[in-house]
Amino acid sequence: MQNSHSSDPESELLVNGRALRLQVPPAMPLLWALRDVAKLTGTKYGCGVGLCGACTVHLDGRAVRSCVTPVSGAVGKQLTTIEGVGADALGKQEQQAWRELDVPQCGYCQPGQIMAATALLRATPRPSDSEIEDAMSGNICRCGTYQRIRAAIRRVAGGGTP
Ligand code: FES
Ligand code: FES
């Protein structure tokens, strides 16, 4: 894992609506910068190679894997993490549906699931089952909460019904 040094350049990121200056190598994975430097630990480390979705955040509203996105790739964009996703109505509805349907089991994958689901519903407010499948199939849940995740997405998309 790369560490930050005082000789590193400063990168200014816009994280959850706030400017954040980080002195880290520009090539450092965004996930490391968020968790280890900014101490925003809601975004989780799963595989580290873009295959599990645990580290999903939004850049300009689109879901990206922060483990394979360099810090430099987030400069000049709106970066949203699980800590900030509830700031707007859609993110709030997602979190509420997750609570109402008791979606999480161990919970580890769920920040990434919520981020992926929110990006899906922002782009496609009424997704078909196959669009939900396409958008969510890269987010792994070792506890197998897939049915509840998809029910929560359908509940938000349908305005309250599962
Ligand atoms: S930790 Fe980033 S996709 Fe698995
Ligand atoms: S709730 Fe445990 S990995 Fe998804």
Beta bridge pairs of residue 20: 13
**CA–CA separation, 13 and 107 (whole Å):** 27
Give the atom of ligand 1 at the shortest distance from the alpha carbon of 67: 2
Least confident of 9-13, 99-103, 142-146: 9-13
> Does 154 have pLDDT greater than 90?
yes
Nearest CA to ligand 1 atom 3: 50
**CA–CA separation, 100 and 16 (whole Å):** 25
pLDDT of residue 5: 67
> Does 161 have pLDDT greater than 80?
no
pLDDT of residue 138: 97
Categorize the per-residue pLDDT at 1 as very low, low, confident or very high, splitting at 50, 70 and 90. Answer: very low
How far does Cα 87 stand from its chain's mean position? 14
pLDDT of residue 92: 97
pLDDT of residue 8: 87
Tell me if 21 sits within 8 A of 10, measured CB to CB. Answer: yes
Q: For the chain, what is the radius of gyration of the CA atoms? A: 16
Nearest CA to ligand 2 atom 4: 141
Percent of the chain scored above 70 by pLDDT? Answer: 94
Residue to substitute in 1, 30, 51 for testing ligand 1 pocket (most ligand atoms within 8 angstroms of CB): 51
Amino acid at 135: A
Q: Of the bound ligands, which one is closest to the alpha carbon of residue 145?
A: 2
Q: Of the bound ligands, which one is closest to the alpha carbon of residue 53?
A: 1
Q: Is 48 in the pocket of ligand 1 (CB under 6 A)?
A: yes
pLDDT of residue 159: 72
